[in-house]
Amino acid sequence: MRDLKAVGKKFVHVMYPKKSSALLRDWDLWGPLVLCVSLALMLQGGSADSKEDGGPQFAEVFVIIWFGAVVITLNSKLLGGTISFFQSLCVLGYCVLPLTVAMLVCRLVLLASSGTVSFIVRLVVVMAMFGWSTLASTAFLADSQPPNRKALVVYPIFLFYFVISWMILTFTPQ
Amino acid sequence: PSPCASANGRRAGRAGPGWRLDDTEDVSLDFGNEEELALRKAKIRHPLATFFHLFFRVSAIVTYLLCDWFSKSFVACFVTILLLLSFDFWSVKNVTGRLLVGLRWWNQIDEDGKSHWVFEAKKVSTSIAASTEVEARIFWLGLIICPVIWTVFFFSTLFSLKLKWLALVIAGISLQAANLYGYIHCKLGGKKSISKVTSRFFLKLVVPLSEMQN
């Protein structure tokens, strides 16, 4: 259907962040929802109290992603950005895609082995995807700011993806 | 039958006042297609849309209340309820609002990046595809009661300190309240005041109820 095709097109745009207005003009929050749920599902079962089947953790990931995205959006709006609230949420949510891919790769690597080599592989992959996420979202969001405020906008985005990457990197299945 | 009926109707319309003219309908339906007549008399013209409008909302609420019966896993319940709420949001915003009450709303971003929200209401039409009173009543009742129930859940979760459900309840409230706000905005259309509309709505509800009692 029309909506599914729009979501798919946006995923492609995130992987090849060209200067296009498809992500900005027709925003939708379905992609971020799917990515958030899949990332939260994949981060399951990585804590000591796995008797509770990771209940609080699932909601934690959810809250971190959505609350973090809302705070960044508010920050960029207060700094005088021209982008609208939902557009910014849309971009931030879609740019979680590289990190979801990194999580998938990490889980596969952890299935194979969990020694130092696997840690180095995971570190490299997570760092690369973190850089990609930050660059992709900055490419879309920083243009809506006056030039002397770009760093103030990029820093919270950097922190946001850093926290998600940290959660991915420190994930150890029980 | 229907292509023949419309051709005959067009001839009847153009032939002038001597011919049999039906001036309540400008659509040529008076050549008695039984299905069309039944459709005009029916109380619910969009049964699928009405069903789905209520189905997703009510199942989300029922699943939330009975989640301990269905599965021990918090994650499965969370994801199921979230999926039901998303389907409900999509179907109410894109399908049932348009079909049942002729209203729609969306967000548009123009060339210079400014975003504005558009709220539209269909003009009253007498075609057979228009919605009925019963459908409109079901639509608004479903639209209003469910966010109220989710707000009750919010307070019960907060005070019983089952905080891991709070994220889900907040998501539910925001999705349902967004649709409620959008459609009320469409209905008001910037002219009438909300008190007049709500009093008329309750009159329409109360009068048939009191008639049933008498």
Q: What is the ipTM of this complex?
A: 0.78
Q: Is A109:A118 a contact under the CB 8 Å cutoff? A: yes
Residue in B closest to A67 by C-alpha? B167
Q: pLDDT-based confidence at B41, cuts 50/70/90? A: low
> Does residue B9 fall inside a structural domain?
no
Q: Would you list which residues of chain A are within 8 Å, Cβ to Cβ, of chain B?
A: 3, 24-27, 30, 33, 37, 41, 44, 52-56, 58-59, 62-63, 82-84, 86-87, 144
> Within a domain: residue B125?
yes
With a cut of 80, say whether residue B44 has pLDDT above it: no
Q: Is B3 inside any structural domain? A: no
- The partner residue sitting opposite A41, judged by closest CB among B72, B75, B90, is B75
- The larger pLDDT score, comparing residue A172 to residue A48, is at A172
Query: What pLDDT digit, counting tens, does each position of A17-76 carry?
Result: 665 666 667 778 888 999 999 998 888 865 545 455 555 578 888 889 999 999 999 988
Q: What is the 3-state secondary structure (H, E, C) of chain A?
A: CHHHHHHHHHHHHHHCCCCCCHHHHCCCCHHHHHHHHHHHHHCCCCCCCHHHCCHHHHHHHHHHHHHHHHHHHHHHHHCCCCCCHHHHHHHHHHCCHHHHHHHHHHHHHHHHCCCHHHHHHHHHHHHHHHHHHHHHHHHHHHHHCCHHHHHHHHHHHHHHHHHHHHHHHCCCCC
Question: Which residues in chain B have Cβ-Cβ distances shorter than 8 Å to A144?
Answer: 113
Interface test with A, best of B78, B87, B114 (most A CBs within 10 A): B78
Separation in Å, CA of A15 to nearest CA in chain B: 23
User: Quick one: tokens of B63?
Assistant: 């699943």
Mean of all residue pLDDT scores within chain A: 82
Range of the structural domain that residue B178 is part of: 45-212
Give a yes or no: residue B103 inside a domain. yes
Please tell me the predicted confidence (pLDDT) of residue A69: 93
Q: What's the total number of domains in chain B?
A: 1
CB-count burial class (<10 Å; 0-12, 13-18, 19+) for A125? buried
What pTM was computed for the model?
A: 0.74
pLDDT for residue B5: 42
Higher pLDDT, B12 or A13: A13
Degrees, nearest 5: CA angle A161-A164-A165: 85
Residue B168 domain flag? yes
pLDDT higher than threshold 70 for residue B213: no
- On chain B, the residues whose CB falls within 8 A of the CB of A53 are 72-75
Does the pLDDT value for residue B195 go beyond 70?
Answer: no
Enumerate the residues of chain A whose CB falls inside 8 A of the CB of residue B75. 41, 44, 53-55, 58
Per-residue model confidence as pLDDT tens digits over A67-103: 999 999 998 888 877 788 888 888 899 889 999 999 9
Q: How far is B73 from chain A (nearest CA, A)?
A: 7
- Reply yes or no on whether the pLDDT at B93 is more than 80: yes
Sign for the CA dihedral angle at A79, B119, B50, B207 comes to positive
Question: Coil, strand, or helix at residue B133?
Answer: helix
Model confidence at B131: pLDDT above 70: no
Q: Pick the range with the lowest mean pLDDT from A30-39, A146-155, B202-211.
A: B202-211
Per-residue pLDDT, averaged over B144-151, amounts to 92
Q: Which pLDDT band, with edges at 50, 70 and 90, does B12 fall under?
A: very low
Task: Determine the residue of chain B that is closest to A43 in CA distance.
Answer: B75
The pLDDT assigned to A51 comes to: 54
The mean pLDDT of B131-136, rounded to a whole number, is: 78
- Give the closest-approach CA distance of B179 to chain A in angstroms: 15
Which pLDDT value is given to residue B13?
A: 41
Within a domain: residue B14? no
From A24, A58, A63, residue closest to B75, measured CB to CB? A58
Say how far apart CA A141 and CA A164 lie, in whole Å. 19
Predicted pLDDT at B9: 42
